[in-house]
């Protein structure tokens, strides 16, 4: 089972600190623009052991494909993760969400 998060749910949970939004896009994509408060962990270098602890992990990417792959990789490493933001950065940007850049 996979839990899909909406932009509003992600925004609210980031504001109250209950999630770690893990952006699995590549570093150059993250640098161009990312959701404020998200953590960069490119899928090409994915390491489930490096995932943050103490908060619900929600994966994000550009549009939901890589975030689903990250769930599969995390589970294969024994980390129970079921959440992603399927709209990803494209949805966030299209809806006028704030964007951070490196």
Q: Which residues are catalytic?
A: 61
H-type alpha helices, 1-102: 7-16, 27-32, 65-76, 88-94
- Using CA atoms, how far apart are residues 102 and 90, in angstroms rounded to an integer? 17
């Amino acid at each position: 089972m996979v839990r899909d998060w909406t932009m509003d749910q992600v925004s609210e949970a980031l504001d109250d600190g209950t999630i770690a939004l893990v952006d699995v896009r590549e570093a150059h994509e993250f640098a161009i623009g990312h959701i404020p408060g998200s953590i960069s962990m490119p899928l090409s270098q994915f390491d489930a052991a490096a995932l943050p602890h103490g908060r619900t992990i929600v994966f994000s990417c550009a549009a939901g494909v890589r975030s689903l792959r990250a769930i599969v990789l995390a589970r294969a490493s024994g980390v129970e993760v079921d959440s992603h933001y399927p709209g990803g950065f494209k949805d966030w940007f299209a809806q006028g969400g704030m964007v951070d850049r490196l």
